[in-house]
Structure 1
Amino acid sequence: LKKNQRIYFLPLDSLNIMMKKIVLIGYMGSGKSTLAKALGEQHACPAYDLDDLIEQKMNCTVATLFESKGELYFRKVEHEILTSFLATHDSFILALGGGTPCYFNNFELYQSNEYSSFYLKSSVSYLAKRLRNEASKRPLIKDKKEDELEEFIAKHLFDRSFYYHQVNHVISIDSKSIPDLLDEINILLT
């Protein structure tokens, strides 16, 4: 040690999460972004949202990208940004978009032992209730009538089930608070 150099000791739980690459997946409206931010704040670990990273890189909203270039173009950009992010970041909490695991074999990118991945699983009715008020901001459901929303979500969950379950941990989120979910994730991380 050099003269006047300070040594800092971190609690073991903070050190444990600092050395992790945590990926949160789930359907739109499942709270991935909110939970990533809360988990990051709790452990002083950088938290990111893939949609935010895409918007910064493309200089437009995800909704605008969907409308102007189409979903296939969006998914290609999403894959490129996800691949680049995972290759260049050492410790993080990352909330993926609802469809991210299902395209370009993205789910394979976070399957190695260096990642802790969590599927925030929810019932169709719980998701529909959460999404009703924000449908205008969501390109895939903005034109859905209220009576079509649950059927649309149910079909999507069925189609995406294989990809969503390619994780280390599945957590049911229905009616759980953020502190409850944080506690559950922290137990699984130790």
Structure 2
Amino acid sequence: MNIVLIGYMASGKSKIGKELGKILSYDFKDLDNVIENGENKTVREIFEDSGELYFRKKEKEYLDALLKQSSNTIIALGGGTPCYYNTMDTLIEDKSLKTVYLNVTIPVLVNRLNNETSKRPLIAHIKTDALLTEFIGKHLFERVPFYNKAEFKIDANGDVDGIVENILLRLF
């Protein structure tokens, strides 16, 4: 079984995925890292050099390949991955994996992203908390319908250990 973690940027997909992987003795793959290794560029460089649409196409290709070659793997998707092509429908139809939405409130996301805007291409241009709050709110409004298709919805506002425990209780 593969476990796919979805949620907005800074929802904890990588941190929680690594911890789940340790506990379950599963491999952990961060889709953004897989793309960066395959393209020999950072996500930011891909966005800058080729644009978001190119990135989304590559994201889909790498995810499809990863799902075909992986078993007993925790896969952390990028925040937008479930929203493009038919990715979310494909994931929920695949009975060999479980989808987990890490749901985080806007204030917690703003707090987590506050000092990371330069590292994240979609928000690199945002300079104030008010603008970041507005951006996240609009973005979540667009993305939540995709995220909510996940089989499991987990409150991910707390500490990593509590979130991981909640996921394990729901999955097994």
| TM-score normalised by length of structure 2 | 0.96
Shift in Å, 1:24: 0.2
1:85 and 2:66 aligned = yes
Larger radius of gyration: 1
**Structure 1 unmatched runs, 5+:** 1-19
Shift in Å, 1:161: 1.2
Q: Structure 2 counterpart of 1:69, which letter?
A: S
**Structure 2 unmatched runs, 5+:** none
Q: Structure 2 counterpart of 1:152, which letter?
A: F
Alignment correspondent of 2:136: 153
Superposition pairs of residues 37-76 of structure 1, within 5 angstroms? 37-76=18-57
Shift in Å, 1:169: 0.6
Task: Report the 3-state secondary structure (helix = DSSP H, G, I; strand = E; otherwise coil) of the residue aligned with 2:102.
Answer: strand
Task: Report the 3-state secondary structure (helix = DSSP H, G, I; strand = E; otherwise coil) of the residue aligned with 2:29.
Answer: strand
Give 4+ residue runs of structure 1 displaced > 6 Å after superposition.
Answer: none
Task: Report the 3-state secondary structure (helix = DSSP H, G, I; strand = E; otherwise coil) of the residue aligned with 2:163.
Answer: helix
- Report if aligned partners of 1:49, 1:95 keep a CA contact under 8 Å in 2: yes
- Report if aligned partners of 1:119, 1:171 keep a CA contact under 8 Å in 2: yes
How many angstroms apart in 2 are the aligned matches of 1:187 and 1:85?
26
1:23 and 2:25 aligned = no
Q: Which residue of 110, 126, 142 corresponds with 1:128?
A: 110
How many angstroms apart in 1 are the aligned matches of 2:77 and 2:112?
18
Alignment correspondent of 1:115: 97
- Report if aligned partners of 1:100, 1:106 keep a CA contact under 8 Å in 2: yes
Q: Which residue of 146, 149, 152 corresponds with 1:163?
A: 146
Alignment correspondent of 2:162: 180
Deviations 1:79-120 (A, max 9, x none): 000011111112200000000000111112211222111100
- Report if aligned partners of 1:83, 1:109 keep a CA contact under 8 Å in 2: no
CA RMSD for the aligned pairs? 0.8
Task: Report the 3-state secondary structure (helix = DSSP H, G, I; strand = E; otherwise coil) of the residue aligned with 1:28.
Answer: coil
How many angstroms apart in 2 are the aligned matches of 1:137 and 1:64?
11
How many angstroms apart in 1 are the aligned matches of 2:5 and 2:154?
10
Task: Report the 3-state secondary structure (helix = DSSP H, G, I; strand = E; otherwise coil) of the residue aligned with 1:22.
Answer: strand
Task: Report the 3-state secondary structure (helix = DSSP H, G, I; strand = E; otherwise coil) of the residue aligned with 2:116.
Answer: helix
How many angstroms apart in 2 are the aligned matches of 1:42 and 1:103?
31
| TM-score normalised by length of structure 1 | 0.87
How many angstroms apart in 2 are the aligned matches of 1:38 and 1:138?
23
Q: Among the aligned pairs, what percent are the same residue?
A: 43
